[in-house]
Structure 1
Amino acid sequence: MVKRNLFAGATALTIAFSAAATAETATMDYQDIFNLEYATGAQLAPDGKSVVYERRSMDIMTDSTRSNIWSVTLDGAKHTPVLSGKASYRMPRFSPDGTRMAYVSAVEGKTQIYVRWLDSGQTARVTDLQMAPSSLSWSPDSRHIAFSMFVPGKQTSLFTLPPKPKGATWAGNAKVIDSVTYRRDGSGYVPTGFSHVFVVPADGGTPRQVTSGDFHHRGSIGWLADNKTIVLSANRSEDWEYETDSEIYAVDTLTGDYRALTDRKGPDAAPIVSKDGSKIAYLGFDDTLMSSQNANLYVMNADGSSKRSLTDDLDRGVSGIEWSLDGRGIYYSYDDHGKTLVAYASTAGSSRIITNQVGGTSLGRPYTSGDFTVAGDSRIVFTQNRTDRPADLAVVDRIGRVTPLTSLNEDVFAHKKMAAISEITFKSSHDGRDLQFWIATPPDFDPSKKYPLLLEIHGGPHSAYGPTFSAEVQMYAAKGYVVVYGNPRGSTSYGAEFANLIHHNYPSEDYNDLIDAVDQVVAKGYIDEDQLYVTGGSGGGVLTAWIVGNTDRFRAAVVAKPVINWASFSLTADGAPYFTKYWFPDMPWNIPDHYWKRSPLSLVGNVSTPTMLLTGEVDYRTPMSETEQYYQALKLRKIDTAMVRIPGASHGIYAKPSNLVQKIGNILAWFDKYKGAE
């Protein structure tokens, strides 16, 4: 959608709120979050001269993210809407014959698959589904579309109530849960049923289910050249609820017969079929039970023969694979030293880096992110990373020349002064390892003055921050804080050995790395050493609580969506089979001391720092019970504390723009409360 229409129909109060950012406001402010836009999901158009993409914007009226489909030429000269309005339009996919574009939308109520004829612009709804479709994939002859969809099953029942009297009002039937994972963050309690793959005629008709069994079939779907065989990844083992093992399967859409193309201990996923249907690229690794494991890029023949890895020497986790248009190689992305790169590997074995400027699709915190698509002639279109803007589209050619294609946020930020981001590298005081962090300085920063310092810690713990846009970091800096953030041991993008330094050992010396980063910035001379603050979410919440349990150096802390007690977390989080298997050497009842000594709750008796807790009320990744334990413990110790519960928020608090605003605002209010306090 076009952002200037964002406030159409808003109440007077909302208009006043949005108008608060006047020409006198020179820095980022809260209302800017409701105006953010970013590009993602680009797809090369059949003309080869343009791409369509999802233009995502914040909708202040519905408190959500809206996605419209826009087109931009590869020289950036023509930028026009394709499907735009109040409804969201997502997942554009062009037919192989170049005549149509499929997409999904809930413009008529429930999410359905639509097809748009490119010559006439006419659109037809081709499904009448009760559940939302995903993973659209055209058959090579452009006659069918495969997609994945959840199929509800019969709810388990152990007892039936006797008939109730006429007119009686009873509480309802009990809900019986018998699955291992019974709730998932972001979607709530898991309904009975499984995700399956369907095929529907591209001209419309009745979808036909082609996968079977009590197993989930999700993720990318490919077609072989015969127009009847699809390729997908699924975990069809007897212990699928307890295992992460998955294989690549070829499934006959006419008979439903399965043929396994891979067979090893470890996940194989994301199959992509080459244009001629002769080869399949995919991601996978041999499971070693380490908490951080890098996915490699593999290629095999369409019948499953001649499997080989193209990235054995990379020591980075590969994602986002796409075949070159000539079928001679595969483009892929990976994170390296806090940046997201796109590289190319030929099937013959050679490789080269295309760009290291990918990012910008993680709006809240400065995580690595981004995506790309192949544009032909050795070019790719990608989401371009900047520290002061969310993702725009850009194209890079064979010699590395980058041409920006969009400029989605200039109306918001061109007249504002943004935080400057600079890199610092230093040696760990614990073992001399190289560490990489970044410093965000306030607009109009003057190194001769003294500033409060805010340490921001990433989650994961196996993830990575980088020099990329972050609404949270920019807001902290706009309010006068110098922000330091980066990648302590355990972070990805530095190799498996560095990431696994915290294997069965978390939190541990990552604490030292974070304190070293603070010391490095303090040593620069522009920090008020009596005004140090710390916050972090998820794994960063764990480390924030660990920090205040080990030092009273910080004036105030905000522990966001944390794990406080590893034993209770491992039995209430939505990934219990994974956490107990990969993050710990045994179950909590067998090694309670191991779980306890890594739990921040074990150090609560040391805490003297004013510490606020902040968590989404429907967070099932780090459940609210973790926050409540720490809050109650701090209260019993009479430590200054408060518990902020973000309404309707899951682990991804940023999913609703108002919740992202509330998160930032409450953190800053807590720190401001203790500024200058003795």
Structure 2
Amino acid sequence: MKPADIAHLHSISAPSLAPDGSRAVFTLVRPDLEEDAYLGSLWSVATDGSERPRRLTYGLRDRAPRYSPDGRWIALLRPDEDKRAQIHVLPADGGEAWKITDHPLGAGAFSWSPDSTRLAYTARIPEEGRYVDGTPDKEPPRRITTFKYRIDNLGFLVDRWQQIFVSAPIDPSGEVGEPVQVTDAEADHGRPVWTPDGTELVFDASLHSNRDRDLYQDVWACAPKEGAELRRITRGDLGARSVGLSEDGSTMYFVADELGADGTDFVGRVGGLWSMPLDGSGEPRRLTGTEDPRVSGLGTLVTDRGVLVGVENRGAVELCRVTPEGERVTLLGGRVEVQGFDHAGGVTVAVAAGEHDSGELYVVEDGGARALTSFFEGVEPLPVTELVARAPDGHPVHGWVSTPEGEGPHPVILMIHGGPFAQYGWQLFDETQVYTEAGYAVVYCNPRGSSGYGQEHGRAIIGSVGSLTATDLLAFLDAALEDERLDGSRVGVHGGSHGGFMTTWMAAHHGERFRAAISERAVNAIDSFQGASDIGAFFPEPLYGPPESWPKESPLTYADQIDKPFLIIHSEQDWRCPLEQAQRLFVSLRRRGHEVEMLLFPGEGHELSRSGLPSHRVARFEAVLDWWRSHL
């Protein structure tokens, strides 16, 4: 795999099944280097495997298709002439789609009413005079009075809150009526779900009076009409999201984190599946434990046999079914990363990526899965080897090594993931493939602090992030270097976000182990991160401890100990780890005359390496390879 081969790494959206389960519709998206964009269209396939997938639409950026409950329509998001996503409706048996929303900033997540006549959806509503005339520098000033006023990859929130709307009845003639705005609070409202009888919408939102100072989020319900009175269902002590309802509408299921007494103790918390009566009686009941696999962000889907969820488990993202009694059954597991799923008519389908592809659609059956698509081509993935090392205290450190062909000895890159509560996993990872093809052995693992190994593992680094994480990383590196094909005298360290934090830390505290370093989108100085990051008001103390400990925990404090060549990569519009984090490190190293470079990408946010412009992703790869070519 070469840098430009990211064009072969397609993705498949969460699928939607026809009500009888006979067909699945999904979006196929690919990076396009000529258009410098991600192009996607709708595809359809029979779930019995009787035909090859066929393209359903020829829009360039269609996404998020959903069948109506009666099977007549498929709703989807498609950009309008201003490139803002609007909901369109397409006849399921073929024909032209027509637009049913016309919001100035586009529409978002939606769901069909039980009678298939309307859609409930979210849309951001801008303050008058903002975001619409193409001259943002001439807009009036923003008056900021809250902590939660902006977010990475979107921008400011306080002048465009996400509200819930209900469309006018679907008219096959293409006539579009005015939608009804259901909510109006100064807060973001999550995807609405209809109750089975169509009388209420259920959604998550933070609407309590202290919402600016904690991370609690409740489940709410209201009638699908203007001025409806909202009814809070949960108790204000969880971070709830991803609501699903039982077939009779009596029970709701949702994913939630326990956040401690003040609502900010979120680091390393294993999100679980919960249930509660929809009428608000009784207490929420947790169905999965804190040491069970963490329930992922793929949502909940209630079936007649239990609730389908994705769970993070030792580098995998598995599809599981959880019964109302809390019994968990793995439906699709092993060396996979499930990316979306649906169930209808007794049929379950899932999109899953693995070691050898970037994701295909499967029918999930007892005892296994049957592929419905085979889009992946153009790249021959190199194999990776699973490895478990032991830290000095005996703790197991799980990860992988990707080794180039040939006897070696090969130079080595120690890669460190972000988070820290995240995981490397069983997937075709473009970073690993590009670097290994270029001749580098890539060593990457899930040290303590990572997700997928239980809450105790995730919270182990609180208050000693750099030191304990480094202990696990070095133990894993040493175990990998026992392979004589790897050259322990030519090792580089490379990571992004929390991985960038650890790269700076490792270069300062364990520089003798490395020839050079690359730090991307990093946290380097906790004190300024608190005020500059979109999550800074809540993040530092739960992870790094009280403010008096921040200098000791900040990699920037030890920059004068770095004596190896250092490349800093950052995005100019990164609001998660703001640009000043890179600038402070660059200036500190540069003032000492140290060999340091800073590569800045305009217009990009924190997610550059995963979803930035295809041209920028290729340029980033080329810069990284050039750096390692020079120093390893």
TM-score (norm 1): 0.86
- 1:607 and 2:575 aligned: no
2:269 maps to what in 1? 293
Which region of structure 1 is more displaced relative to structure 2, 239-248 or 335-344?
Answer: 239-248
Mapping of residues 33-44 of structure 1, within 5 Å:
33-44=6-17
Report the secondary structure of 2:432's partner residue.
Answer: helix
Q: 2:617 aligns with which of 647, 652, 660?
A: 660
2:324 maps to what in 1? 347
2:134 maps to what in 1? none
Mapping of residues 266-345 of structure 1, within 5 Å:
266-288=238-260, 289-306=265-282, 307-312=284-289, 315-319=292-296, 320-326=298-304, 328-345=305-322
1:475 maps to what in 2? 434
1:131 maps to what in 2? 105
Larger radius of gyration: 1
Unaligned runs of 5+ in 1: 1-27, 157-170, 361-368
Note the C-alpha offset of 1:349: 3.8
Q: Is the 8 A contact 2:53 2:373 kept in 1?
A: no
Query: 1:428-478: per-residue Cα shift (whole Å, max 9, x none)?
Result: 12x210110101112xx23x4311111110000110001211111100000
1:372 maps to a residue whose letter is: F
Report the secondary structure of 1:518's partner residue.
Answer: helix
Query: 1:574-593: per-residue Cα shift (whole Å, max 9, x none)?
Result: 1122214533444x4xx2xx
Q: Is the 8 A contact 2:85 2:108 kept in 1?
A: no
Note the C-alpha offset of 1:86: 4.8
Cα distance in structure 2, aligned partners of 1:135 and 1:358: 30
2:273 maps to a residue whose letter is: L
Cα distance in structure 2, aligned partners of 1:535 and 1:460: 15
Q: 1:439 aligns with which of 381, 401, 409?
A: 401
1:153 maps to what in 2? 127
- 1:578 and 2:538 aligned: yes
2:588 maps to what in 1? 633
Note the C-alpha offset of 1:79: 3.3
- 1:674 and 2:619 aligned: no
1:401 maps to what in 2? 368
1:495 maps to a residue whose letter is: G
Cα distance in structure 2, aligned partners of 1:68 and 1:133: 18
Note the C-alpha offset of 1:35: 3.2
- 1:563 and 2:523 aligned: yes
Change (3 A) 1:215 1:550: same
1:373 maps to a residue whose letter is: D
Mapping of residues 106-121 of structure 1, within 5 Å:
106-109=79-82, 110-121=84-95
Which region of structure 1 is more displaced relative to structure 2, 279-288 or 95-104?
Answer: 279-288
Q: Is the 8 A contact 2:14 2:339 kept in 1?
A: no
Q: Is the 8 A contact 1:40 1:391 kept in 2?
A: no
Q: Is the 8 A contact 2:526 2:540 kept in 1?
A: no
Report the secondary structure of 1:285's partner residue.
Answer: strand
Q: Is the 8 A contact 1:342 1:358 kept in 2?
A: no
2:28 maps to what in 1? 55
2:623 maps to a residue whose letter is: N
1:181 maps to what in 2? 148
1:421 maps to a residue whose letter is: V
Report the secondary structure of 1:489's partner residue.
Answer: coil
Cα distance in structure 1, aligned partners of 2:242 and 2:573: 30
Q: 2:350 aligns with which of 372, 382, 395?
A: 382
Q: Is the 8 A contact 1:199 1:209 kept in 2?
A: yes
Q: 2:187 aligns with which of 215, 221, 236?
A: 215
Note the C-alpha offset of 1:312: 3.1
Q: Is the 8 A contact 1:43 1:93 kept in 2?
A: yes
Change (3 A) 1:566 1:68: same
Report the secondary structure of 1:197's partner residue.
Answer: strand
Note the C-alpha offset of 1:67: 2.2
Cα distance in structure 1, aligned partners of 2:155 and 2:328: 43
1:142 maps to a residue whose letter is: S
TM-score (norm 2): 0.92
Cα distance in structure 2, aligned partners of 1:666 and 1:612: 10
Cα distance in structure 2, aligned partners of 1:460 and 1:256: 39
Note the C-alpha offset of 1:58: 0.9
- 1:529 and 2:497 aligned: no
- 1:244 and 2:244 aligned: no
Cα distance in structure 2, aligned partners of 1:492 and 1:231: 29
Change (3 A) 1:314 1:521: closer
Note the C-alpha offset of 1:181: 3.5
Note the C-alpha offset of 1:107: 4.8
2:72 maps to what in 1? 99
Q: Is the 8 A contact 1:38 1:408 kept in 2?
A: no
Identity of aligned residues (%): 28
Which region of structure 1 is more displaced relative to structure 2, 279-288 or 481-490?
Answer: 279-288
Note the C-alpha offset of 1:250: 1.0
Query: 1:144-197: per-residue Cα shift (whole Å, max 9, x none)?
Result: 1100111123589xxxxxxxxxxxxxx956523314234321123445131110
Change (3 A) 1:527 1:122: closer
Q: Is the 8 A contact 1:271 1:282 kept in 2?
A: yes
- 1:258 and 2:226 aligned: no
2:478 maps to what in 1? 519
Change (3 A) 1:131 1:284: same
Mapping of residues 461-472 of structure 1, within 5 Å:
461-472=420-431
Note the C-alpha offset of 1:615: 0.7
2:574 maps to what in 1? 619
1:426 maps to what in 2? 389
What number of residue pairs does the alignment pair up? 609
Cα distance in structure 1, aligned partners of 2:142 and 2:299: 41
Query: 1:367-393: per-residue Cα shift (whole Å, max 9, x none)?
Result: xx622222553x532222222321111
Change (3 A) 1:569 1:349: closer
Cα distance in structure 1, aligned partners of 2:271 and 2:475: 31
Unaligned runs of 5+ in 2: 131-136
Note the C-alpha offset of 1:622: 0.8
Cα distance in structure 2, aligned partners of 1:609 and 1:397: 53
1:194 maps to what in 2? 161
Note the C-alpha offset of 1:321: 4.0
Change (3 A) 1:455 1:302: same
Cα distance in structure 1, aligned partners of 2:278 and 2:149: 36
Q: Is the 8 A contact 2:220 2:233 kept in 1?
A: yes
1:339 maps to a residue whose letter is: A
Report the secondary structure of 1:267's partner residue.
Answer: strand
1:649 maps to what in 2? 604
Note the C-alpha offset of 1:278: 2.8
Mapping of residues 361-376 of structure 1, within 5 Å:
370-376=339-345
Note the C-alpha offset of 1:287: 1.6
1:287 maps to a residue whose letter is: L
Cα distance in structure 2, aligned partners of 1:202 and 1:308: 38
Report the secondary structure of 2:238's partner residue.
Answer: coil
Report the secondary structure of 1:609's partner residue.
Answer: coil
1:385 maps to a residue whose letter is: A
Report the secondary structure of 1:420's partner residue.
Answer: coil
Cα distance in structure 1, aligned partners of 2:524 and 2:288: 38
Cα distance in structure 2, aligned partners of 1:290 and 1:280: 23
Note the C-alpha offset of 1:514: 0.9
Cα distance in structure 2, aligned partners of 1:123 and 1:449: 56
